[in-house]
Structure 1
Amino acid sequence: MSEPATVTLARHFASLTIGRIPQKHLDDAKALIADWFGVALAGSRADSGAIARRFAIETGGVAEATIVNGRGARVPAVHAAFANAIASHSVELDDVDILALYHFSPPVVAAALAAAERAGSTGAELLTAVVAGCEAMARLSDATNPSLRDRGYHTTPAVGGFGAAVAAGLLFKLDEERMVSALGLAGAQASGLMEMYGPSMQKRFNPGPAARNGVTSAVMAQLGFTGAATILDGQRGFCRAFSDKFDPEALTRGLGTEFPIYIEYKAYSCARPIHNGIDCALDIRRQMGADRVDGIRRITIRRHPAWAHYHQIPRPATHHEAQVSMNYSVAVALREGAALLPQYTEEKVHDPAIIRLSEMVTVVPDDGLPRGVSCLMTAEAADGSTYSSQVDHPKGSIANPMTPEEAAGKTHMLGDPVIGAAGVDRLLERIRRVETLPRAAELMELAQGSATGSHAAEETPFARAS
């Protein structure tokens, strides 16, 4: 009888060192950390991020880890991971996997940074932990999706707790046996529902428990609390409980030689599967001319069936709901030529001209489209002329990537209003050489400051390079 996948994975992760990770994945992890900081800094000023920060500070406890933009506030690592994960998911600009099913950084990077502060880890150890946590998330998602998503589970928190546990466990230097327990305890806390699209802050909350639970699992395992070695592929384990059709081989396929981590980045401040529609809208706006947009009388979006029935919200009630609305996002992109934070405000949500276009959008499933996030949009102008655009790979995807200058510009756009351009420059410089830092905590120390700037820079997407 073969050993449980949990044991095989625990052995791999507990023994992983930076020297065994291909340089590409180390570079990807640096890019992920840089993107996370920009998004978390902006998210710390959002209503949901501010509430999470207040919760962590008011709950209090041993000063182990720092809160992003908490003006130096230090709280228990579990609370820092929780608050920082929510902040980094609060403006809908966090990274995404290649299938647009989940976000790596809110649970993994938030947990890794908090655990690194608690453990006094080096930058090299932090970088290794981020790669390991992302690999754990990727393998679990590959094994259980799309069934997991289709059953109503949100992949980010469902598998994110395991990724956070692996990242924290590596930083706490858990051996194989205790890493097994950390994974088992993460499975005991696995959760997260797709019933999150609406006017509330619900979606922003989801990665918070995953990051917190991952750190909790690793701490408890470090203290000697044991967990089930069959938590992943057992008869009542995660895979069978969360998925009707799963691939157990994906849990360990190529383990040690392959790192199935494919990270994409957001160019727009909304749910990733909507981005193809925004790219189509911006292309059509260029084709027809901005001055003719208000005369549009019909908008049809052909969307792959994998996502066709999601994000159809013609009249969102709040900016939270607008950020998960294909209708609104297409409408505001057509009208304003952008889909960043200034386009997702309570004022914009109630703009009659945007509402008119939003309610005009019709979504049609089309299984002839090549990818799950593919969109084919057609707009009919007032004179009867039609304009079409098809996008299979949105801006920021692996096939259509941001340049390094655009990536740095995004972090500046989001972080400058919080810690200033010079502060973001210092942070990015440290991240570029994170593997040389004797103290990983230095990164969080740089992510502090008072918000004295404005959001004016956000009008020009990613224009400023560091």
Structure 2
Amino acid sequence: MTQESLTEKLAAHLIRPVDRNMRDALHKRARLHLLDWMGCVAGARQSKIANIVKMAESDILTRAAMLGNVLEMDDIHRTSILHPGPAVWPSALSAIREVNGTMEILLNGAAVGYEAMIIIGETLDSRHYEFYHNSATAGGFGAAVAAGHIFGFDKDKYVFAMGNAGSIAGGLWQMRHENVMTKQMHLTHAALAGLWQARLARQGFTGPKFILEGPQGLYAATCDKPKPMKYLDEWRIFDVSFKPWGACRHAHPAIDAAIRLKERRGDLHGEIVVETYKDAVTFCDRQNPQSTQEAKFSIQHALAVIADKGEIELNDFEPDAISKYAAARARITVEQADDIEARYPQHYGARVSCGGDVVEVIDALGDPECPMSEGQIMDKARQLILWGGLSEKDADAAINLCLNSNDVGEIQKLLQGWLS
């Protein structure tokens, strides 16, 4: 008997039908994530990256793919440590455009794409994350599966598409050490490569089924101890968090704790100590950010803003604010705490101390245990759309189309108007 590969087992899980009793809830959840991604795209319209992409890429959905991660407000899954939306939605919308499909097919395809991306992302170990951007590695799988579902794939075609997506997967973290735009390209490459693999598999192009666990596969090349695949009854999209603040998610627990501490004390004068988990320290212990991107990866900068204002907004990461808060950042220390590290990545936590008062956050705002309401998600999308230079009318249209409409073509037209 031939051994069944991990991608074959995953494909069997992916082709299960959506339970009728779950369908409405699944579609409602997927619509919220579509709106969240659309807001992130709109918010980045006036960025330098948007101007470059407009000159470099003619396809609207390719342009949109480049913008979904720019503001660091895209959705995130904690235990896989990745951002599904920017990889899955551009691929799903491109595929649905090709087949002229329905909103129901789009939403199902996105949910299946999230499922594959998260399941594979959860198998990647700390060694992998030390060097590789999980969103880039697993994103191609998610994008390929989302498009494949929309193309009507059977098990074999899913396996082919995932095999080839895995063959070119990756995204090295070196770009974190330089003031470059590569992080956004990582997710775009995952979205476009996954779509390409699905197009090829649709026509019978084959791919390696042991791409994950094979002797020269992804795990052998990039992991020390890959984790086992987990198949749950509930769809993984329900485990995905929304981000309220325009900073790296690893900074969010400290931001939440600081906001609560400021509300309790009325001030955050003097020394501030942040205790958190190792990855938050590695990614976001940044005393002197030099750019907007670096400021979004600085716990010290975020907390300096909160100490001053009690809240944090997108313009607080711009160059003027970086200069303004230099002295305040110097009084903020970031340290690793063993008890918080022990709960990670199931829980992204932080403890913030000032003047003898302490606030600890186990789960950040937007996580399933501390969810943003539908109204808060809508407000976030509205704020992002306005930040991107669009109107209240544009915001109303996007919210209505994403949450209520069954006309996929109108969503594509809206993006066309935004990004032309």
TM-score, scaled relative to structure 1? 0.82
- Taking the TM superposition and a 5 Å limit, the aligned residue runs for 1:169-188 are 169-188=148-167
Q: 1:78-125: CA deviations, max 9, x gaps?
A: xx34x3222010011111113471111000012111221122111111
Q: 1:371 aligns with which of 343, 350, 372?
A: 343
8 A contact 2:80–2:118 mirrored in 1: no
What residue is the counterpart of 2:320 in the other structure?
347
Q: 2:236 aligns with which of 249, 253, 260?
A: 260
Does the C-alpha gap of structure 1 residues 7 and 100 become closer, same or farther in structure 2, counting only changes over 3 Å?
closer
- Taking the TM superposition and a 5 Å limit, the aligned residue runs for 1:12-27 are 12-14=13-15, 16=17, 19=20, 22-27=23-28
Amino acid at match of 1:282: I
Does the C-alpha gap of structure 1 residues 120 and 282 become closer, same or farther in structure 2, counting only changes over 3 Å?
same
Amino acid at match of 1:36: W
Residue 9 of structure 1, CA deviation: 2.5
Larger displacement relative to structure 2 (202-211 or 303-312)? 303-312
Residue 236 of structure 1, CA deviation: 2.1
Does the C-alpha gap of structure 1 residues 3 and 99 become closer, same or farther in structure 2, counting only changes over 3 Å?
closer
What residue is the counterpart of 1:442 in the other structure?
410
What residue is the counterpart of 1:167 in the other structure?
146
What residue is the counterpart of 1:29 in the other structure?
30
Alpha-carbon distance in structure 2 between the residues aligned to 1:355 and 1:25? 45
Alpha-carbon distance in structure 2 between the residues aligned to 1:275 and 1:345? 18
Amino acid at match of 2:53: A
Does the C-alpha gap of structure 1 residues 15 and 51 become closer, same or farther in structure 2, counting only changes over 3 Å?
farther
Residue 243 of structure 1, CA deviation: 1.8
Alpha-carbon distance in structure 2 between the residues aligned to 1:443 and 1:418? 18
Larger displacement relative to structure 2 (408-417 or 189-198)? 189-198
Measured on the aligned residues, the alpha-carbon RMSD in Å equals: 2.2
8 A contact 1:18–1:128 mirrored in 2: no
Residue 19 of structure 1, CA deviation: 4.6
What residue is the counterpart of 1:390 in the other structure?
360
- Taking the TM superposition and a 5 Å limit, the aligned residue runs for 1:2-81 are 2-14=3-15, 16=17, 19=20, 22-57=23-58, 67=60, 80-81=61-62
- Taking the TM superposition and a 5 Å limit, the aligned residue runs for 1:94-173 are 94-99=74-79, 101-150=81-130, 152-173=131-152
SS at match of 1:138: helix
Amino acid at match of 2:304: A
What residue is the counterpart of 2:275 in the other structure?
302
Alpha-carbon distance in structure 2 between the residues aligned to 1:85 and 1:450? 13
- Taking the TM superposition and a 5 Å limit, the aligned residue runs for 1:237-248 are 237-248=217-228
Q: 2:190 aligns with which of 207, 210, 213?
A: 210
8 A contact 2:80–2:134 mirrored in 1: no
Unaligned residue ranges in structure 2 (runs of 5+): none
What residue is the counterpart of 1:458 in the other structure?
none
Does the C-alpha gap of structure 1 residues 258 and 19 become closer, same or farther in structure 2, counting only changes over 3 Å?
same
What residue is the counterpart of 1:462 in the other structure?
none
Q: 1:205-224: CA deviations, max 9, x gaps?
A: 22010001011111122233
Q: 2:171 aligns with which of 192, 217, 237?
A: 192
8 A contact 1:100–1:272 mirrored in 2: no
Residue 410 of structure 1, CA deviation: 0.7
8 A contact 2:120–2:229 mirrored in 1: no
Amino acid at match of 1:444: Q
Unaligned residue ranges in structure 1 (runs of 5+): 58-65, 68-79, 381-385, 452-466
Amino acid at match of 2:249: R
Q: 1:193-251: CA deviations, max 9, x gaps?
A: 2233243323222201000101111112223321111112222222333321113343x
Alpha-carbon distance in structure 1 between the residues aligned to 2:21 and 2:126? 30
Q: 2:69 aligns with which of 89, 93, 111?
A: 89
Larger displacement relative to structure 2 (401-410 or 368-377)? 368-377
SS at match of 2:335: strand
Residue 341 of structure 1, CA deviation: 0.9
Alpha-carbon distance in structure 2 between the residues aligned to 1:401 and 1:350? 33
Alpha-carbon distance in structure 2 between the residues aligned to 1:135 and 1:450? 29
Alpha-carbon distance in structure 2 between the residues aligned to 1:10 and 1:122? 23
Q: 1:359 aligns with which of 305, 330, 347?
A: 330
SS at match of 1:112: helix
8 A contact 2:27–2:104 mirrored in 1: no
Residue 16 of structure 1, CA deviation: 4.6
Q: 1:262-312: CA deviations, max 9, x gaps?
A: 11111110000101111122223223335xx4xx33121111234333311
Residue 320 of structure 1, CA deviation: 1.0
Larger displacement relative to structure 2 (211-220 or 367-376)? 367-376
Alpha-carbon distance in structure 1 between the residues aligned to 2:42 and 2:390? 8
Residue 325 of structure 1, CA deviation: 1.1
Residue 20 of structure 1, CA deviation: 8.6
What residue is the counterpart of 2:380 in the other structure?
410
Residue 358 of structure 1, CA deviation: 1.1
Percent identity of the aligned residues?
Answer: 25
Q: 2:302 aligns with which of 329, 332, 342?
A: 329
Alpha-carbon distance in structure 2 between the residues aligned to 1:159 and 1:21? 26
Residue 180 of structure 1, CA deviation: 1.7
Amino acid at match of 1:446: L
Amino acid at match of 2:141: F
Amino acid at match of 2:339: G
Does the C-alpha gap of structure 1 residues 273 and 241 become closer, same or farther in structure 2, counting only changes over 3 Å?
same
Residue 17 of structure 1, CA deviation: 5.4
SS at match of 1:390: strand
8 A contact 2:75–2:83 mirrored in 1: yes
